[in-house]
Amino acid sequence: MKRTFAIILAGLIAAALFVMLVHAVLVAAHVSGPLTNTVHGLTVRRLWATTAVALGLTGVIIGSIALVRAIRRIGNRGRNGAILALVAGIIASVNGGLNLALATGGPGSGNGVVGGAAAIVFGLIGTALGGLALSRSRRTVLQAGQL
């Protein structure tokens, strides 16, 4: 019961942190205010932002798996996954930043502003996880070579 409560609480805290980071990115990009004309449906920029978010989320998932493998010393110690997470995170962050830089309106304008901000956040998290997994995989390789 305590473990389930702790997992639910950690999930809620992570979701709140994610929302705060996305809002901070929107405020920093000066596009936090809604537009009077709200666009409904999928636009090209929303599709671009959604693709960048999916790539960033993929980087986070692969980086997490690589980090677990690097810690447990499974397989190739997560080295390939770490490199893939780094690349996916960087590409997602750059695309999210470009989407925000080209946006002419705030959320609801059809420019994919919220998706661009989420792509930056997911990309940075994926890059951090990939870098951490890569450093841990190198450390375990060095330790195995010294034994």
The 10s digit of each residue's pLDDT in 89-103 is: 999 999 999 998 888
The pLDDT, as a whole number, for residue 105 is 75
Name the pTM for this structure.
Answer: 0.73
How far apart are the two ends of the chain, measured CA to CA in Å? 42
The pLDDT, as a whole number, for residue 86 is 93
The pLDDT, as a whole number, for residue 26 is 76
What is the domain range of residue 140?
Answer: 2-31+40-146
How many independent structural domains does the chain possess?
1
